[in-house]
Structure 1
Amino acid sequence: MKKAVHPTSATAAPVRGRPKVRPAALVTEESTEDAETRIYQSVVSGVMSQRLTPGTKLPEAALCELFSVGRTVVQKALQRLAHDHVVELRPNRGAIVAMPTREEVDKLFEARRVLEAAILPLVARSATKADFAMLRRQLRQEHQAMHSAPQTEWARLASTFHLTLGELSGNPLLARYLTEIISRCALVVAIFQPPGNAACEHDEHARVVDYLEQGKVKEAVAEMDAHLRDLESHIQLIEDQTELSLADMLGLS
């Protein structure tokens, strides 16, 4: 006689009508990540728009209140910002907007000049006619932005030009290193370059493309070197004093 088999918890048929419940842990994790990103983007935006000036304190308690989040979320956002060199985390003193020294800026641009000098010969060797046509379309957008768009848009398009050259090098490692270093340079330029100056000069970009398309690699490298040195020369490491509240500087008021 066969024994009756009772369903176990693993094999039992599901109870009909019971709603599916999303695990609470997943909901919490997702909302935490969103809040962390919101804080990160607000701080970066404040820095790039020059509302948040170097040395500005970013107290955890104030950020918790402004963004209606817990301390853990704020700490994760600040750690991410520190990783990207947007803020400095000082032991027992809290976070401040990064304050690079003149020596740090010099070394940053020195590394960028060396990196872009290595990339340009690769671009000249591998870029196609379609690639150069695409670069010239970017240059037209850049030129138009210089006469009609905010300075932050100039900076974005200028960075895009350099990043495109990195991609056209055909070397993903060099392109990745260039992306990181341009991100750091863009922050320094956004913070310390006086208003009204273009992040990059359009004519210099155009001459680099002309030289590359003509196969004049040495001239292209020399033009890029002079271009980056000129960009660095406009950086003024002066701390601006502001009476704005933290909420104003973060664009939350």
Structure 2
Amino acid sequence: MSSPTPAPRATGKRKTRAPAASAETTAATAVATPAPAPAARLKRGTTAIDLRIYRAVVNAVMSHRLPPGTHLGEADFCELYQVSRTTVRKALQRLAHDHIIELRPNRGAVIASPTPEEARDIFAARRAVEREIVPLVIRNATPASLQQIRAALEAEDQARRTGDRASWIRLGGEFHLLLAELAGNQVLLRFMSELVSRCSLIIALYESPGAPMCENDEHQDLMSLIEQRKVAEATALIDHHLLEIEGRLRLGEPERKINLAEALSGF
């Protein structure tokens, strides 16, 4: 990165310097897929490369390319991103804080593996949060926000029609994060950011291998109810939708050897 051009010497009236692009903006252009909401705000001390590593892991988790139990070697990240171990550890600490990974003694970082009991608790919490989010989305709905939802649904449908399972799974989670953003409550958005990522881990761990890609009718139906401002019906549908997802899960941890470079490719 080149050094900034020195500011011109003042000649009476002080000129206002345009704000520099934030680290988040810089990182966003480096990530090939839309960034999930957990990275919506930079924490103090976070750099663009920290954020890029964080987003890459979260996106790979949401796409089920990094299943629970996968070991994340610091040396692999150093080689992939050409950064120091200090930088990698900062990203891993943030991922651990958000319960995406676990930092285990003598084993290092691994993708978190929720137990069946944790899975039930996480889905129950998510249903409670989304029951609050949907009425807020309807209350705050504008032509622009409705268009954002339609665009998200179109992206999901495109991934399904082309058989891009990884993108379809990720976009399904991002649809729910978009609703949380449009609700306009930053606390609920932070809760959802963690819950969606943890639900992705649970689905990766407990979903039946080779489960077919289903139609996206419930997201489309929810969109129709939001447009019609039917609060009770939309809230009941989101609850049913999440119960259906949880009901399809089965116990059993897959044994898969994961190539970290391959899983993070494209992020």
Q: TM-score, normalised by structure 1?
A: 0.69
User: In structure 2, what is the equivalent of residue 6 of structure 1?
Assistant: none
The reply to whether residue 177 of structure 1 matches residue 216 of structure 2 is no
Tell me if the contact between 2:71 and 2:111 (Cα under 8 Å) persists in the aligned partners. yes
Tell me if the contact between 2:57 and 2:264 (Cα under 8 Å) persists in the aligned partners. yes
CA distance 1:55–1:113, change in 2 (3 Å): same
The reply to whether residue 116 of structure 1 matches residue 112 of structure 2 is no
Provide the secondary structure at the position in 1 that maps to 2:160: helix
- Aligned mate of 1:216, from 217, 230, 239: 230
Tell me if the contact between 2:50 and 2:91 (Cα under 8 Å) persists in the aligned partners. yes
User: In structure 2, what is the equivalent of residue 142 of structure 1?
Assistant: 156
CA distance in 1, matches of 2:57, 2:151: 32
Structure 2: gaps spanning 5 or more residues: 1-45
CA distance in 2, matches of 1:38, 1:170: 25
User: In structure 1, what is the equivalent of residue 103 of structure 2?
Assistant: 89
User: In structure 2, what is the equivalent of residue 3 of structure 1?
Assistant: none
- Aligned mate of 2:182, from 151, 168, 177: 168
Tell me if the contact between 2:62 and 2:169 (Cα under 8 Å) persists in the aligned partners. no
Structure number with larger C-alpha Rg: 1
User: In structure 2, what is the equivalent of residue 24 of structure 1?
Assistant: none
Tell me if the contact between 1:46 and 1:249 (Cα under 8 Å) persists in the aligned partners. yes
Tell me if the contact between 1:112 and 1:178 (Cα under 8 Å) persists in the aligned partners. yes
CA distance in 2, matches of 1:167, 1:250: 26
Tell me if the contact between 1:47 and 1:191 (Cα under 8 Å) persists in the aligned partners. no
Provide the secondary structure at the position in 2 that maps to 1:226: helix
CA distance 1:58–1:237, change in 2 (3 Å): farther
Cα RMSD over matched residues? 3.3
Tell me if the contact between 1:212 and 1:220 (Cα under 8 Å) persists in the aligned partners. yes
The reply to whether residue 127 of structure 1 matches residue 141 of structure 2 is yes
- Aligned mate of 2:218, from 204, 225, 233: 204
Q: Write the letter of the residue equivalent to 2:123.
A: F
CA distance in 2, matches of 1:141, 1:59: 33
- Aligned mate of 2:112, from 73, 98, 108: 98
Q: TM-score, normalised by structure 2?
A: 0.66
CA distance in 2, matches of 1:142, 1:250: 21
Provide the secondary structure at the position in 2 that maps to 1:85: coil
User: In structure 2, what is the equivalent of residue 231 of structure 1?
Assistant: 245
User: In structure 2, what is the equivalent of residue 5 of structure 1?
Assistant: none
C-alpha displacement at 1:43, in angstroms? 4.5
